[in-house]
């Protein structure tokens, strides 16, 4: 797999207003509560089921296709699943990949032991902005 192209702040800010409005609508919160760096689960009380709804809404808003599990799949890159996680815990190699991929998340939040099931707790509005930009580039 080739290395993902860097996403610029300009690209993120171009989609941010729509992503923020979509997140606020999906979670029933105020648009002002949606900040680029706020955790959707810990900061906005999102649940994992909300991510499915959010991705569906983003696909409609931006006319892109976002496969389920795309964030973790992209973060793992060409690292085999067995090297990314073992017995439901992200390995050191997996943590390094997450830190490199989720640059919007403070590195100290991506620390061992991290359960694979807890990876979505790291996701921020910026994570979803980057997901949209990547999907736009993939269909361009």
Q: Percent of the chain beyond pLDDT 90?
A: 82
Give the chain's domains with CATH numbers. 9-139 (1.10.1200.10)
Who has greater pLDDT, 6 or 38? Answer: 38
Cα–Cα distance for residue pair 131/124, rounded to 1 Å: 11
Q: What is the pLDDT of residue 3?
A: 45
Condensed to tens digits (0 to 9), the pLDDT of residues 61-100 reads 999 998 888 888 888 989 999 999 999 999 999 999 999 9
Query: What is the model's pTM?
Result: 0.90
Q: List, in sequence order, the alpha helices (H) in 28-124.
A: 48-62, 70-76, 81-84, 92-101
Report the chain's terminal Cα–Cα distance, integer Å: 19
């Amino acid at each position: 797999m080739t290395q993902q192209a860097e996403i610029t702040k300009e690209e993120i800010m171009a989609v941010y207003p729509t992503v923020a409005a979509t997140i606020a609508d999906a979670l029933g919160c105020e648009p002002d509560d949606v900040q680029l760096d706020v955790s959707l689960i810990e900061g906005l009380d999102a649940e994992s089921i909300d991510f499915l709804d959010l991705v569906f809404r983003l696909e409609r808003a931006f006319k892109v296709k976002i496969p389920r599990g795309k964030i973790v799949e992209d973060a793992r890159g060409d690292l085999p699943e067995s090297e990314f996680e073992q017995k439901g815990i992200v390995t050191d190699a997996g943590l390094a990949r997450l830190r490199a991929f989720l640059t919007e998340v403070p590195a100290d939040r991506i620390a061992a032991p991290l359960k694979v099931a807890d990876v979505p707790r790291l996701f921020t509005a910026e994570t979803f902005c980057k997901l949209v930009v990547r999907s736009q580039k993939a269909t361009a």
